[in-house]
Amino acid sequence: MRRPIFAISAILLAACSAIDGQQATTTQVDAEAIMMMLAEYDTAATAGNVDAYMALYADDAVSMPPDAPARTGKEEIRAAFVAFLEENTVQLTSQVDEVRVSGDLAFLRVAYDETVTPKAGGEPTQLHGKWLVILERQPDGSWKWWHEMWSNYTPPEM
């Protein structure tokens, strides 16, 4: 009687280990995909590619910039980015500090360096800050920026 119970216990333990291994692999794959999205974000922002930039956002995304009202929905976020690019160029470099995945939500904690140069001339503004992004898994399995918030370590000089 002990042998069948031992065998069943061993099989169940092995099955649980396999499931945990699968979840860890899936989480790692998701984390890597999210880190690639951040690289795409930097590239799109630096190139001023509005369509590539907006492709990263969920339709119901919320963007919370420092010292400004929240931008709710993809169209408000697009309008703000277009207005920004009409007056400026940007060089953005981000570094992942942390990424965590839990089910259909994930968060990304980032440090960034950004140079904003007015198109009309003038000195560039150097910004250094932190950024938190909550991502939501889409029905097709992809990830999209869902909520984001950022702040600069020191305010830009006026």
Task: Output the domain CATH number for residue 100.
Answer: 3.10.450.50
CA–CA distance, 33 with 93 (Å, rounded to integer): 18
Task: Write the CA distances from 70 to 48, 73, 108, integer angstroms.
Answer: 22, 10, 19
Q: Kindly give the parts of the chain with pLDDT less than 70.
A: 1-26, 155-158
- Residue 67 belongs to what domain range? 31-152
Domain count, the chain: 1
In the sheet with 143-152, reading across from the earlier edge strand, the strands are: 71-72, 57-64, 143-152, 125-137, 105-118, 88-102
Task: Write the CA distances from 119 to 44, 87, 94, 113, 116, integer angstroms.
Answer: 18, 5, 23, 19, 9
How much is the pLDDT for 27? 87
How much is the pLDDT for 14? 53
Q: For residue 68, tell me if it sits in a domain.
A: yes
CA–CA distance, 107 with 91 (Å, rounded to integer): 23
How much is the pLDDT for 22? 43
| Ramachandran angles phi, psi of 148, nearest 5° | -145, 155
Q: For residue 123, tell me if it sits in a domain.
A: yes
Tokens 């981000």 found at: 94
H or E element: which one contains 124? none
Q: For residue 12, tell me if it sits in a domain.
A: no
* 1-10 pLDDT, tens digit each: 555 665 555 5
Q: For residue 62, tell me if it sits in a domain.
A: yes
